């Protein structure tokens, strides 16, 4: 039995009829950008995510870039970001003309460590990018407090956290803005690239609407320098259909995660913890274990896919060492440095069968008893 790390086709089979109808709808209308599908999806996603506004953009990296740009920071200002995260986080900061200040994650939940954030604050620090990694919410009470006390903006990276919440508050609603990605493998995925910026204050909503389309306040009249970052009508139409199933997909993800964790009891594997008083929206199922790289190879030999998210911490990326880009922050990030060699992401996606989860776990048990 071969078990892929991910298989998007299984979801497609379930949704095929709806997706084909969405395609037909756009094709027949003959309107491909900035039309009723994008507007409709913005409205529906704002409602679903409990946000005051939602502005559709071309991808999740642009969502972070445009959110940071809308804050109106100065070139060279620093944005605090965890070192253990997806590369787009720090690339978005660099692309905004800002400097990533790398900090540590906490050892239980792998999200921004508030104490490390406080330690990294300098007079140049202007914002914090709180990444809800793997679908796990950051310690938002403390991060909100640190930001308030130090006059920092708080942007939430929700690219892996569609459906997560903290003490009942949805991801993306506790800082200035929340950035979402709809990359195909995310909890809510398009059939290509797409992203969204959500928030509460219409001031930012209006600024984002300008920035994403040539800085225009009206057609062909630019009041600020902008870019082209629009969501295709086709992607918006697909996403509207898939949004209807998002809650049940998140439930299924969380059920599969619970099954893995239950079956992995009494093994040398550390299973993911869920922060109390939060709703985790499992995007990846990441274990911490001895000989992680060997385990990954062993699974591969037995036809099981796995991956490492992420093998190179931000502060160790060659571009910083080579002087191609500047970074700042807490220089000794021992835990992030160590963790990258101790983690493994197991096959995980809606449509993965219980018997497949059992098979993966029995292989893991074989590996540790050999
Ligand atoms: C996927 C991802 C992004 C970027 O999204 P793209 O749509 O691929 O540009 C940003 N941050 C995190 C944490 C991600 O996982």
pLDDT band at 14 (very low <50, low <70, confident <90, very high): confident
Over residues 307-322, the mean pLDDT reads: 97
Give the separation between CA 160 and CA 107, rounded to whole angstroms: 19
Name the residue with the closest Cα to ligand 1, atom 2. Answer: 159
Per CATH, the number for 8-240 is: 3.40.640.10
362 alpha carbon – ligand 1 mean position (Å): 32
Over residues 318-332, the mean pLDDT reads: 93
pLDDT band at 75 (very low <50, low <70, confident <90, very high): very high
> For residue 100, what are the β-bridge partners?
79
Question: In ligand 1, which atom is closest to the CA atom of 85?
Answer: 13
For ligand 1, which residues put their CB under 6 angstroms from it? 59-61, 85-86, 88-89, 131, 157, 159-160, 181, 183, 193, 195
248 alpha carbon – ligand 1 mean position (Å): 22
Q: Domain 246-369's class?
A: alpha beta
61 alpha carbon – ligand 1 mean position (Å): 6
* Residue 86: per-residue pLDDT: 98
Over residues 71-97, the mean pLDDT reads: 97
pLDDT band at 17 (very low <50, low <70, confident <90, very high): very high
Q: 276: which 2 tokens?
A: 């109390």
* Residue 99: per-residue pLDDT: 98
The domains spanning 8-240 and 246-369 adopt the same CATH topology? no
* Residue 297: per-residue pLDDT: 98
* Residue 330: per-residue pLDDT: 82
Over residues 309-331, the mean pLDDT reads: 95
Packing angle of the helix pair 8-29, 233-263 (nearest 10 deg): 170
Packing angle of the helix pair 202-211, 60-70 (nearest 10 deg): 120
Answer for the pair 347, 364: CB distance below 8 angstroms, yes or no: no
The domain limits of the chain are 8-240, 246-369
* Residue 257: per-residue pLDDT: 98
* Residue 12: per-residue pLDDT: 81
What does the pLDDT look like over 274-288, one tens digit per residue?
A: 999 999 999 999 999
Mean pLDDT, the chain, rounded, equals: 97
pLDDT(1) > 90 = no
* Residue 240: per-residue pLDDT: 98
Over residues 285-306, the mean pLDDT reads: 98
What does the pLDDT look like over 131-145, one tens digit per residue?
A: 999 999 999 999 999
Name the residue with the closest Cα to ligand 1, atom 14. Answer: 159
pLDDT band at 61 (very low <50, low <70, confident <90, very high): very high
Question: In ligand 1, which atom is closest to the CA atom of 160?
Answer: 15
Question: In ligand 1, which atom is closest to the CA atom of 61?
Answer: 9
* Residue 13: per-residue pLDDT: 80
1 alpha carbon – ligand 1 mean position (Å): 31
Give the separation between CA 40 and CA 310, rounded to whole angstroms: 35
pTM attached to this predicted model: 0.97
Percentage of the chain beyond pLDDT 90 is 97
pLDDT(370) > 80 = no
90 alpha carbon – ligand 1 mean position (Å): 11
159 alpha carbon – ligand 1 mean position (Å): 5
Over residues 204-224, the mean pLDDT reads: 96
* Residue 135: per-residue pLDDT: 98
What does the pLDDT look like over 240-259, one tens digit per residue?
A: 999 999 999 999 999 999 99
**118-125: long-range contacts, CB 8 A cutoff, minimum separation 24:** 118/146, 118/150, 119/330, 120/80, 120/328, 120/329, 120/330, 121/80, 121/150, 121/152, 122/78, 122/328, 124/76, 124/77, 124/78, 124/99, 124/328, 125/77, 125/78, 125/79, 125/80, 125/101, 125/150, 125/152
């Amino acid at each position: 039995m071969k078990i892929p790390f991910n298989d998007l086709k299984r979801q497609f089979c379930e949704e095929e009829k709806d997706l084909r109808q969405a395609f037909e709808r756009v094709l027949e209308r003959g309107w491909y950008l900035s039309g009723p599908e994008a507007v409709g999806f913005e409205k529906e996603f704002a409602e679903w995510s409990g946000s005051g506004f939602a502005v559709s953009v071309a991808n999740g990296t642009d969502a972070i870039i445009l959110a940071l740009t809308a804050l109106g920071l100065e070139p060279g200002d620093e944005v605090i970001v965890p070192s253990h995260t997806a590369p787009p986080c720090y690339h978005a900061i660099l692309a905004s003309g800002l400097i990533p200040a790398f900090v540590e994650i906490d050892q239980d939940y792998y999200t921004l460590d508030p104490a490390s954030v406080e330690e990294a604050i300098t007079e140049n620090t202007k914002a914090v990018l709180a990444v809800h990694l793997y679908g796990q919410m950051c310690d938002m009470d403390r991060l909100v407090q640190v930001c308030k006390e130090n006059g920092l903006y708080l942007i939430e990276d929700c690219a892996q956290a569609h459906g997560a919440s903290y003490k009942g508050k949805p991801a993306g609603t506790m800082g200035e803005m929340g950035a979402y990605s709809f990359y195909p493998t995310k909890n809510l995925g398009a059939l290509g690239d797409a992203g969204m910026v959500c928030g509460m204050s219409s001031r930012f909503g209006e600024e984002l609407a300008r920035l994403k389309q040539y800085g225009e306040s009206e057609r062909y009249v630019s009041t600020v320098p902008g870019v082209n970052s629009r969501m295709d009508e086709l992607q918006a139409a697909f996403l509207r259909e898939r949004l209807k199933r998002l809650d049940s997909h998140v439930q299924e993800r969380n059920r599969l995660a619970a099954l893995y964790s239950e079956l992995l009891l009494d093994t040398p594997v550390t299973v993911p913890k869920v922060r109390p008083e939060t709703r985790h929206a499992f995007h990846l199922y990441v274990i911490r274990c001895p000989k992680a790289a060997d385990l990954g190879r062993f699974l591969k030999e037995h036809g099981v896919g796995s991956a490492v998210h992420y093998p190179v911490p931000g502060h160790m990326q060659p571009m910083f060492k080579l002087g191609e880009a500047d970074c700042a922050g807490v220089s000794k990030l021992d835990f992030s440095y160590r963790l990258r060699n101790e983690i493994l992401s197991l096959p995980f996606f809606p449509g993965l069968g219980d018997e497949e989860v059992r098979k993966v776990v029995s292989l893991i048990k074989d590996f540790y008893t050999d």
